[in-house]
Amino acid sequence: MADRARLPRNGDEIRRQQRREALAAALALLARQKPADAKEARDIHRIQSLITAHPDIFSSSCEVGHVTASAVIVELESRRTLLHYHKRLGRWLQVGGHVERETEIAQAALREAREETGLPDLRFHRAECPASPIDIDVHSIPRRGDQPEHLHLDFRYLLLTSQPDALVPAEGESTRLRWLSFLEALNMGDEIDASLRRLLLKARKLAPGNTT
């Protein structure tokens, strides 16, 4: 009977330990990240401070904001990239969303990408180090209904596919998806924001077949 009474506490302890490990892993990723510009450098420092101050930063219930995971997807043969139209924010973005059950941010990015595209063969561009993001960004999400304005602390990855025609977004996901060359995407002007432009420039450089 005593052993049974300890089980809930043991489960809670396991979850707390997993949360501590996830926070430590996120801080380690940030410490290794080399910022491309002053904005990314400020965002890295900001996330480090928020992780230290808010142990629940992985939860969407954290009022100040929460860690998110996203990915730019590149099709290998043509080196086109995939953007989707975010219905709520009203602009073209890379795929991504909240961290849910994952203890690794990279796995959240992969899950979100699979859900939003249905692409069956998505994989990280560096198999030997999939957990490393290629970009870090903090951005504000406007108030909506009873949800206050808050921050998304976004860890951004590069994913590859060889099956661009296999797009089957999950029910409820945006169906406005566009395969574009990097040049076409970068020339979208005000349709994309500065942080996505920076992410696309990094992906163009890192994706296999780069000649620049």
pLDDT in tens, 124-175: 998 767 789 999 999 998 887 777 889 999 999 999 999 999 999 988 888 8
Of 77, 68, 78, the C-alpha closest to 141 is 68
pLDDT of residue 212: 56
3-class SS string, 46-99: HHHHHHHHCCCCCCCCCCCEEEEEEEEEEECCCCCEEEEEECCCCEEECEEEEC
Is the separation of the CB atoms in 55 and 152 below 8 Å? no
- The DSSP code for 147 is B
Helices (H) and strands (E) in the chain, counts: 5, 8
How much is the pLDDT for 211? 55
Per residue in 29-39, pLDDT tens? 999 999 999 99
Q: Residues 14-40, buried b or exposed e (16+ Cβ, 10 A)?
A: eeeeebeebbeebeebbeebeeeeeeb
Bridge partners of residue 138, in order along the sequence: 153
Q: What is the mean pLDDT of the chain?
A: 90
Average pLDDT for 175-183: 95
Give me the pLDDT at residue 3, please: 52
- Does the 2-206 domain belong in CATH 1.10.3470.10? no
pLDDT at 177: 95
pLDDT the model gives residue 1: 46
* Mean pLDDT, residues 25-53: 96
Of 160, 134, 197, 184, whose CA–CA distance to 74 is shortest? Answer: 160
What residues are paired with 89 via a beta bridge?
A: none
> Is the CA virtual torsion 56, 127, 34, 80 positive or negative?
negative
Look at residue 106 and give its three-state secondary structure: helix
pLDDT at 6 over 60: no
User: Token match 């992410």: residue?
Assistant: 199
The yes-or-no verdict on residue 2 having pLDDT over 90 is no
Per-residue pLDDT tens digits for 97-121:
999 888 899 999 999 999 999 999 9
For residue 14, pLDDT over 80 is answered with no
SS3 195: helix
pTM attached to this predicted model: 0.90
Percentage of the chain beyond pLDDT 90 is 71
CA distance 71 to 76: 15
Rounded CA separation 103/30 (Å): 16
Taken in order 148, 142, 107, 50, is the CA torsion positive or negative?
negative
Other C-beta atoms closer than 10 Å to the C-beta of 48 total 15
Residue 161 pLDDT = 97
Question: Encoding tokens for residue 13?
Answer: 């302890």
